[in-house]
A = this chain, B = another copy of it.
Amino acid sequence: MKLIIAIIQPAKLEAVKEALTQVEVYRLTVMDCQGFGRQKGQTGVHRGHEFGVNLLRKVQLQIAVNEQFVQPTIDAILAGGRSGESGEIGDGKIFVLPMDDCIRIRTGERGSEAI
């Protein structure tokens, strides 16, 4: 089992969700977050202080999947999350973390069938 963490552009959430549905990944958790990356932040101004607002609004997805779903999930995120053909800086990242166990609170089921 893996926990896939993806940081994407807020505007891409819709597309990513559709792509995930294609590969039958229906369950996920979403959070607002802010990111610093290579993407040049716009220049902000406050009371005359220019500062790089390289803190940009992003959305984080957390998806717990079984092994065989890892690759399809990644592909789906890439497909839905990339801006245009070539992609743009700021499109984000996918992190794949090992996961020891998963429990469904409702039933207490454990392991892969609980995902």
Contact = CB atoms under 8 A, between A and B. Distances in A.
A99 B96 contact: yes
Interface of A: 2-3, 5-8, 17, 26-38, 55, 58, 60, 62, 64, 74, 77-78, 81-83, 86-108, 114
Contact of A33 (B30, B92, B93, B103): B30
B55 A30 contact: yes
A3 to B, nearest CB: 6
Nearest to A17: B36
Nearest to A20: B36
A24 to B, nearest CB: 12
Given A98-B97, A104-B93, A106-B88, A33 B29 contact: yes
A74 B83 CA distance: 33
Contacts of A8: 105
Given A95-B99, A104-B93, A38 B33 contact: no
